[in-house]
Chains A and B, each alone.
Chain A
């Protein structure tokens, strides 16, 4: 067992897979010699050679489009889009091509690619380095969407994603790269070394796609969260003293409805929290599913807490971010009804 940051865990997942499977290739902007702007691919080119890990031109559609072609050949490309905010030029390739290739060709061709993208705010990145576009992927049939919340999961989920026969969007909450950020931006950062999620085994293991994890067992209210907000919810539960059951979804699609349903039936209350904008966010889908499955178990209306429906502002970042205080208010609202 080694203590690793999320960056190191992600890097290790790629290294493990590149070692095991020569079909795994890694490329993207600044990914090769330099090792990525967040250092997630550091050392991979030196270790595996430039034909397995290399720099790409600044063309997200080119990166994803080429990856699809490589995957249809038989490779397993794991590519990086430098920020999730930069994925829009690649959206057509993701939606119309990668996601539909298996279906439209009846399995003649498939696109087992992983598209890694740093997501979320909290680093003063402004509107073009802070977005959380997960709902733009979960809305598309044929894509799997993953958001890890700690280094252990990040490595296990990324290995599972690379081994998966279908395209996987792998969103890495960049505010979690170096520590379990709980939304208290004015406090010193806790390093992953001091968190159990930072314990990352060497070698190969997987965290299966489609399985949620219960981060905190509780009986008062269920919180559905993923990525950074899992840690925010933990802080909110501690600070409000509300006995929340916090579910880390880990994979948004396929979604682990079994775990969600069991928890909401038990608590009778549900708060849905995410950093992405509220309207038509993934929380809307979760709210619909929870009321379909658990309506007669709900004692109070489902509460959603999310980023405001504005672009991610720069100076007002912490007014935008749904921190522990806002999530705490949502917990109280769910308790009071």
Chain B
């Protein structure tokens, strides 16, 4: 006979469900500027605390404070603000286009614009990202043509991927954007492999892997951390913790660990946690991690604490699993509003110029959309040929595919 009670299974639950009052009390948010900035050659063991705090630069009065401040000029911040505004406008138009039936599917970045746009500005030409589906800011900030992105979304005759991929699964070698897989997490270890290759060839280019909070549960994540740690690969391993994996709150993937960044500790990988809605902090941390990689000091794990303000995708309705007003209660705010406030505080921007900027950007996006739609949308106008469907499975088409193409009548 045992004196203990029968066992019971623990299933984590988010603090609040629909109908409840949003509550992010569990997330401890330090004052901006209070987290130290170690040298890039620091040992992972000496910065264990940085995996449990949040690096922040912008304070409540729109000032940049502390040791992580000062990586960007006002000009660069204005470019960053434009990147985020463009991404938001792009999202708005494409979301609407999906609702209008011009494409099958879309995924927006609302609330997370700072993460990918600021990270992109910390990279050098030739570096390679292995993104997931919510890092289009890498392309926008990298200057990739919006018309080509939209054409991919529409799967039209101008689609660089010939209509083969689900919308938003872009690919561009030139712009350092690896082909997106809908499988999730698979690209994390590939980023490590790419970085290892760069080291094998004594190159100077580095890689960046991207993953969401939910997908860190996949084995690929752990394989990536083992390989990155073992071979000290020149890679930045990014975890975008936007709190929600479709309907599953981040606690299901995180388990008993209080943060995702802490996962780095078991692998001896320096791990930082950063305010993902603070453009200046994201850029400063990215720059630190990129420099570590470039100086052959090895990988860095970075957790971006952010919030997915929109639905997971156009096929998702978040009101079914979280309070509708949760984003209003999100303590790290909106990345655009915050950078805008900072720049106004610096005298480098104004409400008026912001409104004017919004109009200009919308005009630019709408012009691109018009051009993209002149090449067709999913169900109307120019389309990739079904003949293309049989190309590109192999470098050279083998006889069986040639036969099937003939059978199909192309």
Contact = CB atoms under 8 A, between A and B. Distances in A.
Given A68-B193, A69-B130, 20 more contacts: A23-B201, A57-B227, A61-B189, A65-B192, A66-B192, A69-B193, A73-B197, A96-B183, A97-B183, A103-B392, A105-B171, A105-B179, A109-B171, A142-B393, A144-B394, A165-B394, A165-B395, A166-B394, A253-B398, A257-B400
Interface stretch (B111-119, B162-170, B237-245, B308-316): B162-170
Contacts of A110: 395
Interface stretch (B217-225, B256-264, B289-297): B217-225
B179 to A, nearest CB: 4
B200 A25 contact: yes
A96 B183 CA distance: 7
Interface of A: 23, 25, 51-52, 56-57, 59, 61-62, 65-75, 89, 92-93, 96-97, 101-110, 141-142, 144, 165-166, 210, 253-255, 257
Contacts of A142: 393-394
B398 A109 contact: no
A258 to B, nearest CB: 8
22 contacts: A23-B201, A59-B219, A61-B219, A65-B224, A68-B190, A69-B130, A70-B200, A73-B193, A89-B219, A92-B183, A92-B186, A97-B181, A102-B394, A102-B395, A104-B164, A104-B171, A105-B171, A106-B160, A106-B161, A106-B171, A108-B172, A109-B179
A66 B161 contact: no
A92 B187 CA distance: 11
Nearest to B209: A69
A254 B179 contact: no
Given A57-B226, A57-B230, A61-B189, A69 B200 contact: no
A65 B223 contact: yes
Given A65-B186, A104-B169, A70 B394 contact: no
Contacts of A65: 186, 188-190, 192-193, 220, 223-224
Nearest to A164: B395
Contacts of A73: 128, 193-194, 197-198, 201
Contacts of B394: 102, 142, 144, 165-166
Nearest to B188: A65
A166 B392 CA distance: 10
Interface string B380-410: 0000000000001111101110000000000
B285 interface: no
B408 to A, nearest CB: 14
B30 to A, nearest CB: 35
B195 interface: yes
Contacts of B172: 108
Contacts of B183: 92, 96-97
A72 B200 contact: no
B196 interface: yes
B398 A72 contact: no
Contacts of B396: 165
A243 to B, nearest CB: 29
Interface residues of B, number: 46
B194 A104 contact: no
Contact of B191 (A62, A69, A89, A257): A69
A223 to B, nearest CB: 22
B353 interface: no
B178 A72 contact: yes
Nearest to A95: B183
B197 A70 contact: yes
A9 B280 CA distance: 57
Contacts of A97: 181, 183, 186, 190
A103 B393 contact: yes
Interface string B193-213: 111111111000001000000
Contacts of A105: 161, 171, 179
Given A52-B200, A165-B395, A66 B189 contact: yes
A102 B392 contact: yes
Contacts of B400: 253-255, 257
B197 A254 contact: no
B36 interface: no
A212 to B, nearest CB: 13
B99 interface: no
Contact of B164 (A66, A96, A106): A106
Nearest to A96: B183
B370 interface: no
B132 to A, nearest CB: 14
Given A57-B230, A106-B162, A96 B181 contact: yes
Contacts of B189: 61-62, 65-66, 69, 93
Contact of B393 (A56, A66, A141): A141
Contacts of A96: 181, 183, 186
Contact of A66 (B128, B219, B227, B398): B227
Contacts of B173: 108-109
A74 B200 contact: no
A19 to B, nearest CB: 16
Nearest to A111: B190
Interface string B261-304: 00000000000000000000000000000000000000000000
A64 B220 CA distance: 11
Contacts of A210: 398
B171 A103 contact: no
A63 to B, nearest CB: 9
The 5 tightest CB contacts between A and B, nearest first, are A69-B193, A66-B193, A65-B189, A62-B223, A69-B190
A162 to B, nearest CB: 14
Contacts of B399: 254, 257
B392 A70 contact: no
Counting chain A CB atoms within 10 Å of each CB, the highest count among B164, B172, B179 belongs to B179
Given A107-B392, A165-B395, A254-B399, A101 B179 contact: yes
